[in-house]
Structure 1
């Protein structure tokens, strides 16, 4: 552990406790008494830390009762241990690869440069991390950065937005005034949950389908988190609503080894059947996305309920075979 790591640990221990004994400090830091004394002297003499030894308590503490004259105690600015830097650089690499729109890059780069310098001659410099971690996204749709920034700004400032929205399902473009509630990153794409004043209800808007976004100086309508989850989080996938149904799916014994560890929905129910098949129950309100996920398993997935969903899967499977004969 470096000296600066010890300095920050001592500060955290003293700040979080009424006092701490010499033996506790030595055990936590794993240093000699001479090193501990040097660290405490550095804190007091160089950084103006108000550390005192309280004989009544039998330990060190911060003096909080008197106003200190002269330079005030303050640790150096942003500082991380080598392990923390590795974690941050790894996270940055993940973000850089997930952030295909370049949303965070301009803000992350100054921090990355500082972290790289602090990492110094460590065993895993940033170049090595970037070279050894690879993330590939599939199906991410392009969107305009300026639209995303307008959405984020309106969301945090609690302002309404005027958007021009292209609904791909109907191929219609409508102009809507919306009150943004939250941004959701789901399956490599961004969505905005918002109150639509045109439809007078909650809707999930795909950010890539927003062709124009203008912040209005009108206070946004606030929707309770509970209602947001009930309407837009109750069912399977990004398409949701209030009329929840439950789908019962059974996967082959071979596929069960994969599906048993997958999370389809936060409220899902799953169990391994006596014959090795896997039964999965998921809530849904709009079957579009659920149908696509079921079809990708082909004959390894059977819909037991509801009957309407089973019929829909059967019809679509037959259509796929008819359109792509062997």
Structure 2
């Protein structure tokens, strides 16, 4: 049994039998004397268990005077060592997405408790966290005050007033929105919300929020299926909205196929390997902006098939780029 199970077993034995000898505890737990001593010490020092040694009975028991008649109970939240290691790993992964320590600040008390629960293995947990590294590129940082405010509005189901900078026309506008979902995508955070000014679902980049206020008005609720259909149907962060979704067919050369075949460009993508070694990938898109950038990233290793408008847009971007190096 793991250490957590041993703690519960020790408590159960002391509570049911009153006084239990060291030898009996060892036999019941099937551990070494050193391990049992560490467990008893940990229960006393870290979990405030009033365990005392009774010389008259030659055994361990709960100190009735210390508990003042109340039965000692272990804390409610307990995990096995493997579960704690998994949670510590998850914490480190979250830290890689954490701007200004927003998440870490709130999770730190739980992190310290998890490390404390490992006792002698606390050093091991810290070493584990140093072995997990998340590298983010081109991150657009979000001020912590907006992240916390918008997250709070989402949980409380309340509306928000936003002063928002729209990059496409370089103008600011004021919006009243009902938050529906926070999305982390390619190095930055977005808020999916119902915009009451445009009467529809919109996606807002948190780093473009200039000002935000929490309103007392209850937020409009949009079913998750409707949210996904409206914003997740197309390619990337430009999911679709009111724009009709089209499908792009991309043909990758055999060399590029070795890498692209392992990538997910869209949850609904369709793909197949061609007899000549090439790789065909079909993805839905509504706005070609982000798809165009990803296609250009593969240079001369990819060709757009069938979609003349998209192929022409790619060709124009390549010509424009070439003209800068003429």
Superposition TM-score, scaled by structure 2 size: 0.78
2:282 partner SS: strand
Residue 146, structure 1, aligned to residue 139, structure 2: no
Aligned to 2:28: 35
In 2, Cα distance between equivalents of 1:206 and 1:77? 39
| Aligned equivalents of 1:223, 1:191: Cα separation in 2 | 17
What value does the CA root-mean-square deviation take over the aligned residues?
2.8
Displacement, 1:71?
6.4
Q: C-alpha separation between the residues in 1 aligned to 2:114 and 2:155?
A: 28
Deviations 1:83-123 (A, max 9, x none): 12211111111111221231111111111112222223339
After superposition, the Cα gap between the structure-2 partners of 1:321 and 1:105, relative to the gap in structure 1 and judged at 3 Å, is: same
Distance 1:160 1:307 in 2: 43
Which residue is 2:315 aligned to? 314
Partner SS, residue 125 of structure 1: helix
Superimposed CA distance per residue, residues 245-291 of structure 1 (whole angstroms, 9 cap, x where no aligned partner): 00000111011111111011110001110010100000000111100
Partner of 1:269: 270
Map Cα deviations across residues 156-181 of structure 1 (whole Å, 9 max, x no partner).
Answer: 11111110000112101001111111
Alignment of 1:200-219 (within 5 A): 200-219=199-218
1:162 maps to 161
| Residue in 1 that maps onto 2:2 | 2
Report what 1:292 is aligned to. Answer: 293
Secondary structure of the structure 2 residue equivalent to 1:104: helix
Q: How many matched pairs?
A: 277
Change (3 A) 1:231 1:3: closer
| Alpha-carbon distance in 2 for matches of 1:320, 1:122 | 55
Residue deviations 1:134-169 (CA, integer Å, cap 9, x gap) = 221011112221111111111111111110000112
Matches within 5 A, 1:217-296: 217-241=216-240, 242=242, 243-296=244-297
In structure 2, relative to structure 1, the CA distance for the partners of 1:123 and 1:318 (3 Å cut) is same
- Structure 1's consecutive aligned runs of 4 or more residues displaced over 4 angstroms after TM superposition are 6-9, 70-75
SS of aligned partner of 1:98:
coil
Question: For the structure 1 residues 36 and 142, does the alpha-carbon distance in structure 2 shift closer, same or farther, using more than 3 Å as the test?
Answer: closer
Q: 2:53 corresponds to which residue? A: none
Q: Cα 1:274–1:37, aligned 2, differ >3 Å: closer, same or farther?
A: closer
Alpha carbons of structure 1 residues 229 and 87: separation in structure 2 relative to 1, 3 Å: same
Residue matched to 1:86: 85
Does structure 1 residue 192 correspond to structure 2 residue 185? no
Q: Report the counterpart of residue 31 of structure 1 in structure 2.
A: none
**Alignment gaps of 5+ in structure 1:** 10-33, 39-46, 48-69
Q: Does the 8 Å CA contact 1:244/1:283 hold for their aligned counterparts?
A: yes
Matches within 5 A, 1:57-206: 75-122=74-121, 125-206=124-205
Secondary structure of 2:134 counterpart: coil
Structure 2 unaligned blocks of 5 or more: 10-26, 32-48, 50-68
- Given the superposition, is the C-alpha separation of residues 182 and 123 from structure 1 closer, same or farther in structure 2, using an over 3 Å criterion? closer
Q: Which moved more, 1:260-269 or 1:142-151?
A: 142-151
- 3-state SS, counterpart of residue 184 of structure 2: strand
Residues 82 and 122 of structure 1 are in contact (CA less than 8 Å); yes or no, is this contact kept in structure 2?
no
Partner deviation per Cα, 1:47-100 (whole Å, 9 max, x = no partner)? 9xxxxxxxxxxxxxxxxxxxxxx9679553332222122111111111112212
SS, match of residue 166 in structure 1:
strand
CA distance in 2, matches of 1:145, 1:88: 23
SS at match of 1:150: helix
Q: Distance in 2 between matches of 1:253 and 1:310?
A: 20
